[in-house]
Structure 1
Amino acid sequence: MSASATQVRLGIDFGTSNTIAVMERPGLPATPLLFDGSPVLPSAVFATEGKLLVGRDAERAAMSDPASFEPHPKRCIADTTVLLGQREFKAVDLAAAVLARVAAEAQRVAGVMPGTVVLTHPAGWANERLKLLSTAAYQAGLPPPRFASEPVAAATHFVTHLGHTFPDGSHIVVYDLGGGTFDVSVVRMAGDNLEVTATGGLPDVGGVDIDFAIVRHLEQTYPGEDGQWRRLREPESPADRRHRRGLWRDVRDAKEILSRESNSALFIPVLDVDAHLTREELDTLARPLLAETVALTMDVLAGAKIGMDKVAGLFLVGGASRMPLSSTLLMRETRIAPTVLEQPELVVASGAIDAPGRESHASPDGSPTMIAALPPVVVEPPPRPVYRGVAKVPTRPAITPESEVLAQAVVSVDLPAEAAAPQVAAAPPVPQQRPAEADGTAAPLASATPSIPQPHPADATGTAAPLAAAMAAPSGVATAEPEAALRQPSPTAAVPAAQAGPPSTAIPATAPPPPAPMTTTPAEGPVLALAHAREGRLAVARPDSVTVSTVSGTAPSVVLRDHDGPVVGVRWSTEAPGLLAVGSGNTVTLWRDNDNAFASTRTIACPDEVKQLSWSATGLATATGTEILVWDPATGECSRTWRFSSGPEGEPLRALVWNHAGDRLAAGGSLGTIKVWRTGEDSPSTVLNCAPVGVRTLAFSPDGDWLVSGDAAGGLRIWRLSDSSDQHLKQAHEAAVQTVAWSPDGKLIASGGIDSRVRLWDAGSGREHRVGEGHTGTVNTLCWSTDGNRVISGSSDGTVRQWTAATGAELPERLG
């Protein structure tokens, strides 16, 4: 007998790689829905004539036509369209297809469509993405859903369903290692409520990255004959695609078996080899990646100023978190025994049913209208005076962990005592466009030990005609109003919806210049990227803003806010002084400095999330997943596409850099591959190999003849590109190297990483020159002063520090 619809509740965890659904019916415990006999439904979609296949059906169909396959529709949900084969689909339709599969199975099992549906989402998703997810649910035939953030849903399962109790005011940490991404959140117990107080994530670290490392290890252990592994890496025939799929399935099964056993067997098709993998081998391969997740966990706690004495529980969720090494590394750092269930992938969907969240509202025809917001959940800094004004143009709503305010346009500036107020500008609306594609590969080259000469500096700047259009006619500018009153800080302030409209092209008058230079203090949030311009301007990127200041302190700081998503990179133009690119979400925003009043001049819409950013005279390069797109900043159009890797399990990009001349571009991947392209050529001119350790960062020497790479195991390699020889510094850092930078005169290399240290190396000998100690979090970014006398570092501890190149001593002046 079927239950009443109002009595059936359904929780759906729509994940990047997999989707899980748990249903509760009257008198029965909540149980997961099964898809082809498994609670895990791959989120993949495949386009056929007249319909979209989902899950394992999509994966099987992809063997015959990979171009019509999208393995991660969640990553595309904010895009306008997605090209599958020869057809374009609305991105929301792909998500709707996955949810429709869940809805059909729920109705089949319960005999009725569930009356209550809860969809989970990342803690940082804005109202715009939730509306798209609500639209997908409507198209799938589901009732208007309630939304719960993933960490709150996970915490609800442990607290409400499993009976864990914690003191009021204490915190629990949710460590979520899924198939394609990693997220960590701190949830505060506030009476009967659960509040997300801090969150962080790694969009390209997950179980699939460990699978990559295993496959590369197998290739090195069982080399086979010429061309056999190429058939598995880049299959061209349906038979080889089936072989590739079988290998990856065996790798995933072996990884799961090794969470319980000490060894596992797997079969390598094409080579026709029965291989073996041990727990010890798996731990060696996974350790660099898991060390990154643990380091981010500690950084998030440190950034939120939460000591371990305030952490009452550490919970592991997501299918990849079942690896015993995850618990071992976390316990070593936190001194807290983590809690992990036998099926950690079910936790979020199970907790969603009872998790607090926000409702979506439907119009009379049933279509979604808007999402009701809860009060914002943010970590407030100590109260300080804030100079507030209203932006001259409509701005993108700010994102908070649990709520967003629509039609918001705010300028918020900290004003320390006797200091100039920084200005705050907002990014313009985002146009949509799609680039062309190209492909190419080349064979790896041998390596040896180099002898490094002293390259000459090459850091010329100057204006250029092609950028004139990009710098003209700004689409938006905002400055602080001088007559605004001083108030206490507030997360948001609303403007009437009637003010919404197209951005103005006129530049409003700026506030009068301040009487004295601003004395900067460390801003809130981890420092993710730095960019130092020849004219002395320093751009400091944090997740929700970019602060631009002068190293000398001769001008007030300017804060650029309201980008498309978390900021991932900043770069100054090498041709046009004062032109700054900011990568965030699916966009790159160009900002023009007009006498310290920044105006957004153009927004480039990318087809996927921007992961890396680099700028040269040739163009503005972005890394999105497994592709490199080169954009013309004057027109905003894509002029070239290089494919770093191909296939559903392609190697994700982790590093991207132009040389100073702009005639070579290097990219590094999570499996240790480095490819170097020359402009005008489709195939890479050089392919280098750091396997099995993934590449995290790259930098060219000033003359472009040498390349330094930092890897996930803490090593550095200095490559001579003329013959692909290298010098390997295996223990340069105690953990992953996150950033490298070559000095302007080519004599020194600076590196920083998870071990919180800044290290200087002699580029000619590879010997350590100096060590800078002072940061308390991961060193994420480095840059050199133009004269080469100082190194500037940014860290997850929220500080920007300066170090002398000669002695490695820290300078007293803090920046950013």
Structure 2
Amino acid sequence: MSLRLGVDFGTSTTVAALSAPDGRVRPLLFDASPLLSSAVFAGTAPSTGPELLTGTDAERAGIARPAGLEPNPKRRIDDGYVWLGEREIAAVDLIATVLGRVAREARRVAGDPPAEVVLTHPAAWQRTRLGLLAGAAGLVGLGDVRFVPEPVAAAAYFAHALGRRLPPGRCLVVYDLGAGTFDLSVVRPEGTGYDVVASAGLPDFGGLDLDALVVAHARALTADATDAWARLEEPRTLADQHARIRLWSEARAAKEQLSRHSTAELHVPLAEVTLHVTRGEFEEAAQPALARTTSLALEMLRTAGLTKESIGAVFLVGGSSRIPLASTLLHRALQVAPTALDQPELVVAEGSLYADAADAPAPRRAAAVPALAAPAADEAAPSPRTVPALPADEAAPRSGVVAAVLRPVEPPSADVLDLGVPEAPPPRRTSRPLWLAAIAVVLVVGFVAALMANQPNDYDPRSGARLLTKLTGGALPGNDAVRSVAFSPDSTMLVTGGDTRFPQLWDLERRAVLQTFATNYQVAVSAVAFSPDGNTIATVGGPLHFYDVARLERRGGDATQRQVVGVTAVAFSPEDFLAATSDTRGLVYFWDTVQSTQVGETVAAAPGGDVMDVVFSPDGKLLATADGNGVIRFWEVRTRTWIGTVLTGHTGAVLGLAFDPDGETLASAGEDGTVRLWDVAGRTLIGDPLTGHEGTVYEVAFSADGRTVASAGQDDTARLWDVADHEQIGEPLIEHGADVYDVAFSPDGKYLATGSADRTAGLWELQL
């Protein structure tokens, strides 16, 4: 046997293991730890270009220059370029920086380069991402690499390192709760290898969210220390930044201690207070989020046609899987006692070395690739370098993988050092073949402006709309999914928000960004809204923020900081300068939009569950709430009381709501893939559910005349529905090619806006 290297390139940390010629496997150590921070920092080296650091070196450098730090390169793999400091860095170079540190350490320890390198990856990754990962490995001299899906590596560890064999016909559930992501997989032994028969995940949920819960708890207990928290949440000096980092480090340490003990001490810098935190307090806060992971497990099994009886074992991997409550909830849901380890972070890297060529799945699952070919013409890697891609016949098919993406949880990013908005880079157009540019000249009505990617399409009269343009935030840090869109009342502006954490206000005539707002959230922007008078923009995800449209700046005080965790939605009342917000704790808050203060008591709108959306009736007298249990409730706004009758029928969470302009009909969007119309006065379903989406429907919207409903779906489409006929209008709007999270009609009836996981907002001309 020769020297072999297995690498688990993770969202927040990277782990590597070496297999010696005698077969003994041991982890590599980086600064005396097996966990290498995946963070990358771009420094300044004028003669040779930017100096890239990784690990603790990057984290330390990022304290003084947070705009130069990318804490999670894995999340940026689809971005092509990342704006760090004062320049664009190719995503492939970020990944290569991390893999280069691993390669150097492996050569230093072993004395020779490894004869074989195995890279692990999420089960759903396909050839473009794998090609870029292989290209990064090639840039640092790791040569040809072999790929193993992370759940397959975990299964190999389960069998070889632990000596556990599954009973015939039984499957292994791999529950992977890492720092930045959560993944579930069902792995079945097949021949001498393993077959991933189902997978699902929450790509933006992980241990960092649980750290944020600890921070939120500390803030609640020290609410009087307003000056200290203002400095911790919006650091202005290097000392403030150091204090912020210490706070989050203390929170992570307290969370980890509560996995082993019933209590932990948490020191709050600047406030200079030491708090006593109990496991019970932590579990009360963490229960809704962790319960969502077990619900996802049950849904994955149901969708894949598997029963609880088919489960032979449950294996916990990823650092945050140590939390006892995660194991308890999973045991209760699946009725199988999970297998947990002291160091679950090391499982995947070591397991990849046990999953040799004989054990790995067939190439059709992109698990074992002996050689890499040039990129396919239609799927080139988004980098200026030549990055190889997997051969077409070895690409992982979409069938066979059950992908579940749930909208409600928008957890904190690991980007705890990104404290402001760097100056936007010069616009860089998306690369397009010349023949597409020629078509654009004919079809596009509008302007080519800064930070805009034009992707028009031939108008199909059956579709009800044609795509005018796609708007993208360019190379902003975190440029990623657009989760919410909202038109101004005069239809001249559009505000977009999403995973970038930097909502943007667009001038629709010029298709140009008027302003990029700094939220200082450690979470994605889950929802945006315009006030009825057009003077104010609201954002949530983290605490509610108000922005003055005329001055293009944030306004308001600290009162909106009371609701800080899992804020899902925001809505303005048409009257009384009132707004409402909801969260994943089942609470609804009401706010004075002029004073930025809370109005009245907090409403427990979904005890023990989540409130996914809130919407006011057109007369402002009712508030409708949608929750994760599939229930819609109505509340009298004046008294903040529940009217009593509930709307039920959705078989999963209700994620979106919309009143028609008259307030007589309510539309709802469901996790069950349906759109439903309800009679508000009679509290009854109108006709049959509207079906056609394949997968979750995230959001709905009524047109200004109330005749049309638009819906946004997990199946990469937006759809238009005729309210009177109860039928879909024409063909789906398919140009995004990724989950469509939100839809909105312009008040003047001319346009439809969509927000998508493809990192763009679509602007459509209506042809109804």
- TM-score normalised by L of structure 2: 0.74
For residues 280 and 307 of structure 1, the distance between their equivalents in structure 2, rounded to whole angstroms, comes to 32
Shift of 1:310: 3.1
Rate the CA distance shift 1:679–1:500 in 2: closer, same or farther, 3 A. Answer: closer
What is the correspondence of 1:333-348 to structure 2 with a 5 Å cutoff? Answer: 333-348=333-348
Partner in structure 2 of residue 21 of structure 1: 16
Superposed CA offset, 1:532-586 (max 9, x none): xxxxxxxxxxxxxxxxxxxxxxxxxxxxxxxxxxxxxxxxxxxx9xx9xxxxxx9
What is the correspondence of 1:284-363 to structure 2 with a 5 Å cutoff? Answer: 284-353=284-353, 354=355, 355-356=360-361, 357-359=367-369, 361-362=371-372
What is the correspondence of 1:77-88 to structure 2 with a 5 Å cutoff? Answer: 77-88=77-88
For residues 349 and 250 of structure 2, the distance between their equivalents in structure 1, rounded to whole angstroms, comes to 26
Shift of 1:317: 1.8
Matching of residue 35 in structure 1 with residue 30 in structure 2: yes
Matching of residue 800 in structure 1 with residue 675 in structure 2: yes
Partner in structure 1 of residue 518 of structure 2: 643
For residues 697 and 349 of structure 1, the distance between their equivalents in structure 2, rounded to whole angstroms, comes to 39
Partner in structure 2 of residue 371 of structure 1: 390
Match of 2:626 among 727, 739, 752: 752
Superposed CA offset, 1:187-210 (max 9, x none): 344444433343333233221122
Is the CA contact 1:358–1:374 (under 8 Å) kept in the aligned structure 2?
no
Partner in structure 1 of residue 2 of structure 2: 7
For residues 495 and 564 of structure 2, the distance between their equivalents in structure 1, rounded to whole angstroms, comes to 30
Is the CA contact 2:652–2:672 (under 8 Å) kept in the aligned structure 1?
yes
Matching of residue 595 in structure 1 with residue 461 in structure 2: yes
Specify the code of the residue in structure 2 equivalent to 1:789. Answer: E
Specify the code of the residue in structure 1 equivalent to 2:369. Answer: E
Is the CA contact 1:627–1:641 (under 8 Å) kept in the aligned structure 2?
yes
SS at match of 1:302: helix
Rate the CA distance shift 1:677–1:506 in 2: closer, same or farther, 3 A. Answer: closer
What is the correspondence of 1:135-214 to structure 2 with a 5 Å cutoff? Answer: 135-167=135-167, 170-214=170-214
For residues 296 and 312 of structure 1, the distance between their equivalents in structure 2, rounded to whole angstroms, comes to 18
Partner in structure 2 of residue 764 of structure 1: 638
For residues 333 and 795 of structure 1, the distance between their equivalents in structure 2, rounded to whole angstroms, comes to 23
Rate the CA distance shift 1:503–1:145 in 2: closer, same or farther, 3 A. Answer: farther
For residues 596 and 690 of structure 1, the distance between their equivalents in structure 2, rounded to whole angstroms, comes to 48
For residues 177 and 667 of structure 1, the distance between their equivalents in structure 2, rounded to whole angstroms, comes to 28
Rate the CA distance shift 1:747–1:34 in 2: closer, same or farther, 3 A. Answer: same
Partner in structure 2 of residue 604 of structure 1: 471
Rate the CA distance shift 1:805–1:169 in 2: closer, same or farther, 3 A. Answer: farther
For residues 138 and 69 of structure 2, the distance between their equivalents in structure 1, rounded to whole angstroms, comes to 23
Specify the code of the residue in structure 1 equivalent to 2:436. Answer: P
Specify the code of the residue in structure 1 equivalent to 2:504. Answer: L
Rate the CA distance shift 1:625–1:337 in 2: closer, same or farther, 3 A. Answer: farther
What is the correspondence of 1:475-624 to structure 2 with a 5 Å cutoff? Answer: 502=436, 505=439, 594-597=460-463, 599-606=466-473, 607=475, 608-616=479-487, 617=491, 618-624=493-499
Superposed CA offset, 1:55-114 (max 9, x none): 111111112221211111122222232222223322211111111011111111121111
Superposed CA offset, 1:620-648 (max 9, x none): 413233211234455554332001106xx
Match of 2:588 among 716, 723, 729: 716
SS at match of 2:108: helix
For residues 797 and 686 of structure 1, the distance between their equivalents in structure 2, rounded to whole angstroms, comes to 39
Specify the code of the residue in structure 1 equivalent to 2:388. Answer: T
Superposed CA offset, 1:658-700 (max 9, x none): 3455442211134xx1101121334322351344543122222
Partner in structure 2 of residue 780 of structure 1: 655
What is the correspondence of 1:665-684 to structure 2 with a 5 Å cutoff? Answer: 665-670=537-542, 673-684=543-554
Partner in structure 2 of residue 696 of structure 1: 568
Specify the code of the residue in structure 1 equivalent to 2:556. Answer: T
In structure 1, runs of 5+ residues without a counterpart are 1-5, 381-398, 402-436, 441-474, 477-498, 509-575, 580-585
SS at match of 2:291: helix
Is the CA contact 2:453–2:469 (under 8 Å) kept in the aligned structure 1?
no
SS at match of 2:620: coil
Is the CA contact 1:291–1:735 (under 8 Å) kept in the aligned structure 2?
no
For residues 224 and 684 of structure 2, the distance between their equivalents in structure 1, rounded to whole angstroms, comes to 52
Specify the code of the residue in structure 1 equivalent to 2:502. Answer: E
What RMSD over aligned residues (CA atoms) do the two structures have, in Å? 3.4
SS at match of 1:19: strand
For residues 507 and 301 of structure 1, the distance between their equivalents in structure 2, rounded to whole angstroms, comes to 49
For residues 533 and 91 of structure 2, the distance between their equivalents in structure 1, rounded to whole angstroms, comes to 38
SS at match of 2:684: coil
For residues 206 and 505 of structure 1, the distance between their equivalents in structure 2, rounded to whole angstroms, comes to 43
Partner in structure 1 of residue 280 of structure 2: 280
Is the CA contact 2:42–2:85 (under 8 Å) kept in the aligned structure 1?
yes
Rate the CA distance shift 1:751–1:101 in 2: closer, same or farther, 3 A. Answer: same
For residues 440 and 222 of structure 2, the distance between their equivalents in structure 1, rounded to whole angstroms, comes to 64
For residues 124 and 619 of structure 2, the distance between their equivalents in structure 1, rounded to whole angstroms, comes to 42
For residues 15 and 275 of structure 1, the distance between their equivalents in structure 2, rounded to whole angstroms, comes to 32
**Worse-superposed segment, 8-17 or 588-597:** 588-597
For residues 655 and 812 of structure 1, the distance between their equivalents in structure 2, rounded to whole angstroms, comes to 30
For residues 188 and 435 of structure 2, the distance between their equivalents in structure 1, rounded to whole angstroms, comes to 39
Partner in structure 1 of residue 406 of structure 2: none
Rate the CA distance shift 1:273–1:767 in 2: closer, same or farther, 3 A. Answer: closer
Partner in structure 1 of residue 703 of structure 2: none
Specify the code of the residue in structure 1 equivalent to 2:351. Answer: G
State the 4+ residue runs in structure 1 displaced beyond 6 angstroms. Answer: 586-593
For residues 261 and 743 of structure 1, the distance between their equivalents in structure 2, rounded to whole angstroms, comes to 48
For residues 569 and 342 of structure 2, the distance between their equivalents in structure 1, rounded to whole angstroms, comes to 36
Matching of residue 653 in structure 1 with residue 653 in structure 2: no
Rate the CA distance shift 1:806–1:196 in 2: closer, same or farther, 3 A. Answer: farther
Shift of 1:132: 1.6
Specify the code of the residue in structure 2 equivalent to 1:781. Answer: G
Rate the CA distance shift 1:87–1:374 in 2: closer, same or farther, 3 A. Answer: closer
Is the CA contact 1:167–1:189 (under 8 Å) kept in the aligned structure 2?
no
For residues 755 and 223 of structure 1, the distance between their equivalents in structure 2, rounded to whole angstroms, comes to 32
Rate the CA distance shift 1:439–1:23 in 2: closer, same or farther, 3 A. Answer: closer
Rate the CA distance shift 1:327–1:319 in 2: closer, same or farther, 3 A. Answer: same
Rate the CA distance shift 1:363–1:439 in 2: closer, same or farther, 3 A. Answer: closer
Is the CA contact 2:128–2:389 (under 8 Å) kept in the aligned structure 1?
no
For residues 486 and 6 of structure 2, the distance between their equivalents in structure 1, rounded to whole angstroms, comes to 44
Shift of 1:135: 1.5
Matching of residue 814 in structure 1 with residue 689 in structure 2: yes
Specify the code of the residue in structure 2 equivalent to 1:33. Answer: L
Partner in structure 1 of residue 704 of structure 2: none
Specify the code of the residue in structure 1 equivalent to 2:14. Answer: T
Shift of 1:133: 1.4
Partner in structure 2 of residue 114 of structure 1: 114
Partner in structure 1 of residue 98 of structure 2: 98
SS at match of 1:251: helix
For residues 637 and 71 of structure 1, the distance between their equivalents in structure 2, rounded to whole angstroms, comes to 29
Rate the CA distance shift 1:786–1:333 in 2: closer, same or farther, 3 A. Answer: farther
Shift of 1:783: 2.7
Partner in structure 2 of residue 228 of structure 1: 228
Shift of 1:261: 0.8
Rate the CA distance shift 1:242–1:757 in 2: closer, same or farther, 3 A. Answer: same
Shift of 1:281: 1.9
Rate the CA distance shift 1:370–1:677 in 2: closer, same or farther, 3 A. Answer: same
Shift of 1:325: 1.1
SS at match of 1:259: helix
Specify the code of the residue in structure 1 equivalent to 2:237. Answer: S
Is the CA contact 1:756–1:779 (under 8 Å) kept in the aligned structure 2?
yes
For residues 674 and 471 of structure 2, the distance between their equivalents in structure 1, rounded to whole angstroms, comes to 30
